[in-house]
């Protein structure tokens, strides 16, 4: 029963962060600034981003639930909320303020934090570590897209 509570809590927190990020991005990909950028040839269609982030956050909610059952403490919560802050901040930095360099730094830090989660808890979670893989892989893609824009505009 505790697992269900954790899972629902993480779902609510993760999707609330996504929602806040959407609000802070202004018009996001529909903005004329973004539309005129020289984007990477491998940039997926806009609908892929929402789908990918939904899958990432569902998997991450399962991951965090598994981790919380085994190792819940202030450091885990601190790192969790830090990744939420990085996740939300990128939308504001990149889409709202057009700060591509700061957005890139933000995404690199977020990738580093998710990498830390992955490596630090691999032995503890075993096969459940796979649940953070979509987040890690999507951040690799996001970083490549952001860095392409940084160096080609």
Tens-digit pLDDT profile for residues 5-52:
999 999 999 999 999 999 999 888 888 999 999 999 999 998 999 999
Distance spanning both ends of the chain, measured CA to CA: 51
Model pTM score: 0.93
DSSP 45: P
| Nearest Cα to Cα of residue 44 among 136, 142, 140 | 142
Distance CA 143, CA 74 (A): 29
- Determine the length of the chain: 153
Which tens digits make up the pLDDT trace of 60-94? 999 999 999 887 777 889 999 999 999 999 999 99
Q: Are 13 and 60 in contact (CB under 8 A)?
A: no
Going from the N-terminus, what domains does the chain have, and what CATH number goes with each? 2-151 (1.20.1260.100)
């Amino acid at each position: 029963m505790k697992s269900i509570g954790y899972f629902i809590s993480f779902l609510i927190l993760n999707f609330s962060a996504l929602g806040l990020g959407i609000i802070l991005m202004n018009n996001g990909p529909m903005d004329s600034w973004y539309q005129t950028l020289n984007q990477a040839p491998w940039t997926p269609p806009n609908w892929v981003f929402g789908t990918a982030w939904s899958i990432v956050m569902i998997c991450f909610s399962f991951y965090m639930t598994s981790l919380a059952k085994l190792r819940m403490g202030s450091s885990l919560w601190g790192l969790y909320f830090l990744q939420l802050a990085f996740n939300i901040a990128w939308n504001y930095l990149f889409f709202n303020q057009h700060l591509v360099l700061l957005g890139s730094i933000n995404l690199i830090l977020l990738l580093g934090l998710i990498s830390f989660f992955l490596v630090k808890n691999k032995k503890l979670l075993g096969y459940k570590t796979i649940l953070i893989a979509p987040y890690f892989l999507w951040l690799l893609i996001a970083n490549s897209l952001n860095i392409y824009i940084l160096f080609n505009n």
